[in-house]
A and B are shown apart, each in its own frame.
Chain A
Amino acid sequence: MITAKKIRFIKFLMLYLILIALALLWIIPIFTLISTALKNKQDFYSGISLFALPDVLAWDNFTNAITQGRLLTYMKNDLIISGFKVPLGIFVESLAAFALTRLNIKHRTKWFVFFLIGMMLPMQTALVPINVVYNKLKLTNTYFGLFYVYVGFGISFGILILRGFMKGIPKDIDEAAYIDGCTKWQLYYRIIMPITKPAVATLMITDFLATWNEYLLASVIINDNAKKTVPVGLMTFVGEHGTDYGYLCAGVLISVIPVLVVYLAFQRYFVEGMAGAVKA
């Protein structure tokens, strides 16, 4: 007898099967990455499949990536840049989003659309003008210069998300606050921002990820080796006449760790935060 319970059970079973099938498909590239990272140089020429693990696992690819490849330095640099840029960016964006949603700004939609255009600018286009200006201001090769550009490029998406979330907060809260004698700043800082924390956490993840993996601007603005970021540093593993793929893949795997940490720490807010941003 087919009971309702059985139907539900079968549905769940199918769900799991589909998910596992998809997961297997999904994992192929990741497994390639891992198996390559564990290969010794000779393994590439012995004809073994790209996807099989070698007999002798090459753990020194990982240690080499850290020591010779100075991966830790690059990761430290990237951490500094992201750690500074992300909170600062969110702060600037939230101020603007706050103004656009809760303060008396004329033509708010037009301002919003104006800010949105930043998402559309290809980064390559900004390279030369920014470099010209930075040279005049002596900002080339400085972290400040890089922060500034990153914040600028992040404004559009940040305002998009934060504005969406703030729109969903009822205006009565504002009125009550004003009646209680709050200034605009206090409204922002003491009341609205705490409620917006989920959206902030969301931006923390996406913004951190985007900044961590950013290659183009970092490679052009920063020349000093000690200051390079992870993506730029990883590219130095690509040689002139040949690439040590094991080494490179090991480096990639190591550099992914901090992002995963950030993701895991903030991911529960992720869903909640975006939910607020997308409320109609």
Chain B
Amino acid sequence: MKKILALMVVFLLVVSAFAGCGSNNSSADNNSEAQSNGSQDSSPNSDSTEKTELTFWELSSKQEALEQMVEEFNSTHSDIEVTVSYFEVDGIKDSLKVAASSNTLPNMWFNWGGSLGGFYAENDLIYDLSDYADSHGWYDLYNPGALNLCTLDGKLAGYPRSYNTIGMYYRTDIFEEYGLEVPTTFEEFENVCAVLKENGITPISTAGLNGWHVMRFVELLVEHYAGAEKHDALNTFATSWDDEDVVQALTKYEEFVEKGYLPEGFVTFDPNDTQLLTFSGQAAMDIQGPWYDGNIISEGQDMEDYDTFAFPSGGTNRMSAFVEMIQLNANNSEAEVDASIEFLNFYYSDENTEKYSDIYNLPLPKKGAPMPEGMPNVENLLSMSGENGTFTITDQAFVPQVADALFDVQDAIATDAMTPEEGAKTIQAAIEDYFAQQ
């Protein structure tokens, strides 16, 4: 037996010795890549004659399609070579932070707007695309709402890759069964919830883990009670959250929880799972964005059973909106910037979006972009938001620690640990704390 043990050790060492050779080779490749990456080096030598090598960090949900596109791009562009690294949702946030601290950011990376992407804008880690946008007519090409949300810390912080507006998805078949119409006022909405609940259906599917899904509902309540103007002021901390309109919104949230309009135990549900209740017919509504059509299709549901409406918050019924973008490294040379945008234009070209439509949050934030087929709600949401107007989604408007304070308040009210008044005060305290630290 000892001999077998010894043999295994030797075997493993030998295998790893060979593998070690392999990985040393590829690490040599990486070294040269790292050197010509330009993340440290903005010498003009990386232009003309040499290949411009670009690194791009993207979400792994795009991997299958993007790999094919990258291959096509690299083979048709002899002077540019793009390498993509894929990350999952939480992982990319961490890796970007670590890379930022150690000066190893790639040439381009995916990021959300708001405080997430804003961090990189504020710390001068991104290439300000404002001039580029001007000289290349982006303001005519792209949806102004999108470009607006991509402007962070006064800079155009990224190449807009999606513009999402959020509305209330609902089950048309369930509504029909109980004789319900799409609510046009807040009172009608409450009535709809009451009827659903009476008939054993959970009105709204939501999930509290990490707070942002429940927040989608709470922010609609804030919009309803505070009105559009005040809501915007609240989101920029121009006015205090310790305010009776906020308290009213939180009280209504508390009421919804108590009446069972939200799923039992939702506070620790995973937001990825809200569709479990909606698709199985146990819940009738879900606050989601245009990607939900993609989910409906990929999970084999019938699109006929789903439709969307803008939440009747009174006033203009504005909808929550956010952007996603590709940020460019501040240290990129001119050539790298050009090459990056060339690649991104290819990635987001009309042909590719049609070919690989699943992975894009369609439609693209370009004016007159084609709508994806078979996903009626994408166009619905976009046109409704065009008419009604939008506000920035709260967790992008807030800095992370204030957002977490809001999420804590959401949890606390739902579990009877806090009153709405205390909740409003807590949020304001967190905001003041944040400013005190600056």
Contacts and interface: CB of A to CB of B under 8 A. Distances in A.
Question: Do A and B touch directly, given a CB cutoff of 8 Å in the complex?
Answer: yes
Given A45-B279, A47-B280, A242-B275, A84 B16 contact: yes
Interface stretch (A17-25, A112-120, A132-140): A132-140
A60 to B, nearest CB: 14
Contact of A142 (B23, B272, B299): B23
Interface in A33-71: 41-42, 44-47, 68
Interface string B325-362: 00000000000000000000000000000000000000
A238 B72 CA distance: 27
A46 B12 contact: no
A30 to B, nearest CB: 21
Interface in A87-117: 87
Interface in A191-240: 194, 197, 200-201, 219-220, 223-227, 232, 235-236, 238-240
Contact of B64 (A68, A194, A232): A68
Given A135-B103, A141-B27, A243-B272, A236 B280 contact: no
B295 A80 contact: no
Contact of A241 (B84, B87, B272): B272
A258 interface: no
Q: Is the interface of B mostly helix, strand, loop or mixed?
A: helix
A144 B2 contact: no
Interface stretch (B89-97, B230-238, B397-405): B89-97
A232 B12 CA distance: 23
A241 B23 contact: no
Nearest to B23: A143
Nearest to A236: B60
A176 interface: no
B2 A197 contact: yes
Contacts of A73: none
Interface in B1-60: 2, 5, 8-9, 12-13, 15-16, 19-20, 23-24, 26-27, 30-31, 34, 57, 59-60
A128 B102 contact: yes
Nearest to B301: A45
B98 A83 contact: no
A194 B5 CA distance: 11
B interface, how many residues as a size bin? Answer: 35 or more
A86 interface: yes
B12 A84 contact: yes
A144 B104 contact: no
A197 to B, nearest CB: 6
A267 interface: no
Contact of B16 (A80, A223, A240): A80
Nearest to A215: B91
Interface string B350-392: 0000000000000000000000000000000000000000000
B123 interface: no
A41 B300 contact: yes
A131 interface: yes
Nearest to B270: A243
B291 interface: yes
Given A128-B102, A131-B104, A141-B27, A223 B57 contact: yes
Nearest to B61: A240
B85 interface: yes
A12 B298 CA distance: 54
A219 B94 contact: yes
B89 A238 contact: yes
Contacts of B419: none
A278 interface: no
B417 interface: no
A201 B9 CA distance: 10
B34 A235 contact: no
Nearest to A70: B63
Contacts of A144: 20, 23-24, 27
B301 A142 contact: no
B101 A197 contact: no
Contacts of B12: 83-84, 86-87
Nearest to B55: A223
Interface in B247-295: 270, 272-273, 275-276, 279-282, 291-292, 294-295
A142 B32 CA distance: 13
Contacts of B9: 87
Given A44-B276, A87-B13, A236 B85 contact: no
Contacts of A227: 23, 26
9 contacts: A47-B282, A83-B19, A132-B102, A138-B31, A140-B104, A220-B94, A223-B57, A223-B95, A224-B85
Q: What 10 pairs across the A-B complex have the smallest Cβ distances?
A: A84-B16, A142-B27, A236-B60, A143-B23, A223-B85, A45-B280, A131-B102, A83-B12, A80-B19, A132-B102
